[in-house]
């Protein structure tokens, strides 16, 4: 019996050849169409470049061709998980330009809905992040809780994702009869089941093993790239506009609002912080419902002229959106459309930090890091 021996040579050049790997532009872990261009040395990432723009709709140019009422419907779509908060920034900016006072009931209702929207946003990531790491069960729980809150939001506004409930000067409509009680029941139901995430996810040793000490983001990088929101606070940067520059009714909620922070800056800290914020937003929602029950009946909006024109000037309005700082720079020439409306979205800044964070990490940890940045690609591309 003869044996045949074959030797395959790959050449010495292969030892110094880097592999370029494209993650995306269609990838299940990216909450939209993002592309990452990675340069690998074996299993380790040497260079990472987020390639954005696949979903770009030119929203800022569309703003300039719409009047102030029409802009709201465009503005609530860039971060489709935070539609109410996106609308809020626009109307607050226009109201500031007009020097308009909004009825007290509208202020408290806006605060309530902003916090319910924050819970809806966070629940999506609390369910989808474990899914990206291989745990399918939490996403079923998070969607059940989302459905409970979606029902009350839909009853109020008629929309499930794009609420279109804000108006310059207040809100579209008053609260339906009995809605406050149904909202309170929904908040209580969600709060009563939130320990699912504490036990099922945070108590899972595999989840902790995949996230503890992985993707550590330093406070210096947070400041350098303008990272904000839960990701920044998980790295010890203690900044939250609701407390530090209060808007709406947050100045009166100082005893309820708790700004959680972590010092570790890793994937686990980012997830823990998101969970803490969800608990606190439910408490804030209850506090708003209590206040609304005490307020006498009254209007929820101001009467506006048929053609709404903002006076000539400029203003910058920023809000603490669920994913971080959201800002609108409005420039008016006194017309019914803005001369310029620049959008500063949270995810655009946050995702840029990946260029510094991913190099040196393993490919296996890349999805864990990417998912922990809790971004929406429409919020990056605008």
Q: Tell me, what's the pLDDT at 167?
A: 94
Q: What number does CATH give the domain 59-381?
A: 1.10.645.10
Q: Tell me, what's the pLDDT at 160?
A: 87
Q: Tell me, what's the pLDDT at 381?
A: 86
Q: Secondary structure of the chain in the HEC alphabet?
A: CCCCCCCCCCCHHHHHCCEEEEECCCCCCCCCCCEEEEEEECCEEEEEEEECCCCCCCHHHHHCCCCHHHHHHHHCCCCCCCHHHHHHHHHHHHHHHHCCCCCHHHHHHHHHHHHHHHHHHHHHHHHHHHHHCCCCHHHHHHHHHHHHHHHHHHHHHCCCCCCCCEECCEECCCCCCCHHHHHHHHHHHHHHHCHHHHHHHCCCHHHHHHHCCCCCCCHHHHHHHCCCCHHHHCCCCCCCHHHHCCCCCHHHHCCCCCCCCCCCCCHHHHHHHHHHHHHHHHHHHHHHHHHHHHCCCCCCCCCCCCCCCCCCEEEEEEEEECCEEEEEEEEECCCCCCCEEEEECHHHHHHHCHHHHCCCCEHHHHHHHHHCCCCCHHHHHC
Q: Tell me, what's the pLDDT at 11?
A: 46
Q: Tell me, what's the pLDDT at 281?
A: 97
Q: Tell me, what's the pLDDT at 13?
A: 46
Q: Tell me, what's the pLDDT at 198?
A: 87
pLDDT tens per residue, range 61-116: 999 999 999 999 999 888 889 999 999 999 999 999 999 999 999 999 999 999 99
Q: Tell me, what's the pLDDT at 214?
A: 94
The ranges of the chain annotated as CATH 1.10.645.10 are 59-381
Q: Can you list the residues of the chain whose pLDDT is less than 70?
A: 1-17, 26-31
């Amino acid at each position: 019996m003869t044996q045949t021996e074959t030797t395959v040579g790959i050449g010495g050049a292969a030892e110094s050849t880097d592999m370029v790997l494209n993650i995306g532009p269609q990838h299940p872990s990216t909450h939209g169409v993002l592309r990452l261009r990675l340069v690998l040395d074996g299993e380790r990432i040497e260079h990472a470049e987020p390639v954005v723009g696949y979903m770009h709709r030119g929203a800022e140019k569309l703003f300039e061709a719409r009047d102030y009422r029409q802009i709201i419907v465009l503005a609530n779509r860039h971060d489709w998980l935070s539609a109410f908060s996106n609308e809020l920034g626009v109307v607050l900016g226009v109201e500031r330009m007009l020097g308009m006072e909004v009825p007290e009931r509208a202020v408290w209702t806006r605060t309530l809905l902003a916090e319910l929207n924050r819970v809806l946003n966070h629940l999506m990531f609390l369910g989808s992040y474990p899914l990206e790491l291989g745990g399918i069960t939490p996403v079923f729980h998070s969607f059940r809780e989302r459905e409970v809150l979606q029902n009350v939001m839909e009853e109020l506004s008629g929309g499930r994702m794009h609420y279109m409930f804000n108006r310059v000067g207040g809100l579209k409509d008053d609260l339906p009869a009995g809605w406050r009680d149904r909202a309170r029941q929904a908040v209580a139901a969600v709060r009563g089941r939130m320990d699912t995430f504490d036990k099922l996810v945070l108590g899972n040793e595999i989840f902790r093993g995949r996230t503890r000490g992985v993707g550590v983001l330093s406070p210096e990088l947070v400041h350098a790239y303008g990272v904000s929101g839960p990701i920044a606070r998980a790295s010890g940067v203690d900044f939250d506009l609701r407390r530090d520059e209060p808007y709406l009714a947050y100045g009166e909620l100082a005893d309820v609002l708790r700004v959680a922070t972590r010092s570790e800056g890793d994937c686990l800290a980012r997830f823990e912080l998101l969970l803490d914020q969800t608990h606190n937003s439910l408490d804030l929602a209850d506090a708003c419902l209590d206040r609304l029950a005490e307020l006498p009946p009254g209007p929820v909006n101001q009467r506006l002229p048929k053609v709404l024109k903002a006076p000539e000037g400029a203003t910058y309005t920023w809000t603490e959106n669920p994913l971080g700082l959201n800002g609108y720079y409005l420039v008016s020439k006194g017309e019914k459309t803005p001369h310029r409306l620049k959008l500063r979205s949270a995810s655009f800044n946050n995702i840029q930090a990946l260029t510094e964070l991913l190099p040196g990490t393993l490919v296996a940890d890349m999805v864990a890091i990417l998912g922990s940045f809790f971004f929406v690609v429409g919020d990056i591309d605008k």
